[in-house]
Structure 1
Amino acid sequence: MPGKFIVIEGLEGAGKSSAVALVKSCIEAAGHQLVCTREPGGTPMAEAIRDCVKQQWQETVTIEAELLLMYAARVQLLENVIRPALSQNKWVLGDRHDLSSRAYQGGGRQIDDSLIENLRAISLKGFTPDLTLYLDVDPAIGLERARGRGELDRIEQSGLAFFQRTRDKYLQLAAADTSIKVIDAMQPMEQVHQQIKQTLDAFLS
């Protein structure tokens, strides 16, 4: 069976880490070789960009700089890890991908969609995941969960209104793309995982 690219998406506190672990176990149990990635990050250069994006700076980080850094990291990961793995019929599981930029920078930062589409065309050249699981959570609940994990990074400190806009954009994009499946991440974890398994089973079959 050809390699597939599956992505886990969601706001802070949506439960992506546990979802990644669950999907990883399901894919490996089905007998597929799997490569796991995260964004921004996943290669030495992309990890350095991740540190650059997330830390606080003694200067204004423009929304354009943030967007360009995200796509710089993404294209490094795509060309050095994701495409080579898929060409070897390995499966790839991503903790975030392009949908994050469309939601966070497009929705949250309110960058014009046409600018993002131009960057997508240059860097991704039409590449898209086979399946995206979007874990939907109320931003107030998600941020409270994130605070419980420790100090928030620069993007996590962007404020509730930012994350509300980001969630709205996620849902808008999911409604327009049948490859994006919305998972209710405000359910008890057992039910969340059951919904993920059902969605994944349908995809694998």
Structure 2
Amino acid sequence: MTQGKFIVIEGMEGAGKSTAIAVVEAQLNKHGITFDKTREPGGTPMAESMRELVKSVDISETVTQETELMLMYASRSQLLANKIKPSLAQGRWVLGDRHDLSSQAYQGGGRQISADIMNTMADITLKGFKPDLTLYLDVTPEIGLARARGRGELDRIEQEDLSFFERVRARYQAIAEQDDSIHLIDATQSIEAVHEQIIDVVEAFIARHD
């Protein structure tokens, strides 16, 4: 049985991940590709509980950056073992809303956790596993946060200051420049232009693995 492929949508708040995921879904359906969807943090019952802990604004104690980091990777470990890898092994593709690149950007960039610690956590959890294709939707923090506020209340991480998100974006961009499997898409374009670019990238990827 042919191994499935793992496609991930990445980006900061307000980048348009939800609509991008819908576009990719439509392309996979068009080609008759069976797939499962995931989100991070979350995706399994235990991982969803960790998501609530790490994102809640109602928690009554300070969440340290170390706790945040470990919860993110613990959640990812559960998702990989219980959903992503089994689906791929069965020949199903997986479409993910965020993966390790988010931790590298938010905890590594935003929280300024050292590269050594980030790499150690990734090595322990992922053991070399990575997406086959990542679509990174690039947007300025000012535009992204304005869009996010427009859709409702912000979660604990979304309430960080602008400099935090500037560091997040810089780390996203730096990693994308070094990895050919990551395609940067300018999410400040018109929604039509963004979707057209997503379709082009996904169609080319499917053609290579048809």
TM range (shorter): over 0.9
The TM-score with structure 2 as length reference comes to: 0.96
Instruction: Report the CA distance between 1:2 and its aligned residue.
Output: 3.1
Structure 1 stretches of 4+ moved >3 Å: none
* Matched residue, 2:182: 180
Q: Could you list the per-position Cα deviations for residues 118-164 of structure 1 after superposition, in whole angstroms to 9, with x for gaps in the alignment?
A: 01111111000000000000110000000001010100001111001
Aligned residues: 205
Instruction: Report the CA distance between 1:91 and its aligned residue.
Output: 0.2
Give the Cα–Cα distance (whole angstroms) in 2 for the partners of residues 6 and 164 of structure 1: 25
Pairing 1:161–2:163 present: yes
Instruction: Report the CA distance between 1:58 and its aligned residue.
Output: 2.2
User: Could you tell me which amino acid in structure 2 is paired with residue 61 of structure 1?
Assistant: V
* Matched residue, 1:78: 80
Q: Could you list the per-position Cα deviations for residues 34-57 of structure 1 after superposition, in whole angstroms to 9, with x for gaps in the alignment?
A: 100000000000000000001122
Partner residue of 1:135 out of 130, 134, 137: 137
Q: Could you list the per-position Cα deviations for residues 77-135 of structure 1 after superposition, in whole angstroms to 9, with x for gaps in the alignment?
A: 00000000000000000000000000000000000011011011111110000000000
Give the Cα–Cα distance (whole angstroms) in 2 for the partners of residues 168 and 197 of structure 1: 25
SS at match of 1:174: helix
Give the Cα–Cα distance (whole angstroms) in 1 for the partners of residues 38 and 201 of structure 2: 21
* Matched residue, 1:32: 33
Pairing 1:48–2:20 present: no
* Matched residue, 2:204: 202
User: Could you tell me which amino acid in structure 1 is paired with residue 40 of structure 2?
Assistant: E
User: Could you tell me which amino acid in structure 2 is paired with residue 122 of structure 1?
Assistant: I
Instruction: Report the CA distance between 1:201 and its aligned residue.
Output: 1.1
Give the Cα–Cα distance (whole angstroms) in 1 for the partners of residues 26 and 200 of structure 2: 14
Task: Identify unmatched segments of 5+ residues in structure 1.
Answer: none
Bigger mean CA deviation after superposition, 74-83 or 53-62: 53-62
Give the Cα–Cα distance (whole angstroms) in 2 for the partners of residues 2 and 75 of structure 1: 20
Give the Cα–Cα distance (whole angstroms) in 1 for the partners of residues 176 and 23 of structure 2: 22
* Matched residue, 1:152: 154
SS at match of 2:157: coil
1:60-139 equivalences in 2 (<5 Å): 60-139=62-141
* Matched residue, 1:2: 3
Give the Cα–Cα distance (whole angstroms) in 2 for the partners of residues 75 and 28 of structure 1: 28
Q: CA RMSD in A?
A: 0.7
* Matched residue, 2:22: 21
SS at match of 1:156: helix
Give the Cα–Cα distance (whole angstroms) in 1 for the partners of residues 155 and 66 of structure 2: 19
Give the Cα–Cα distance (whole angstroms) in 1 for the partners of residues 176 and 123 of structure 2: 20
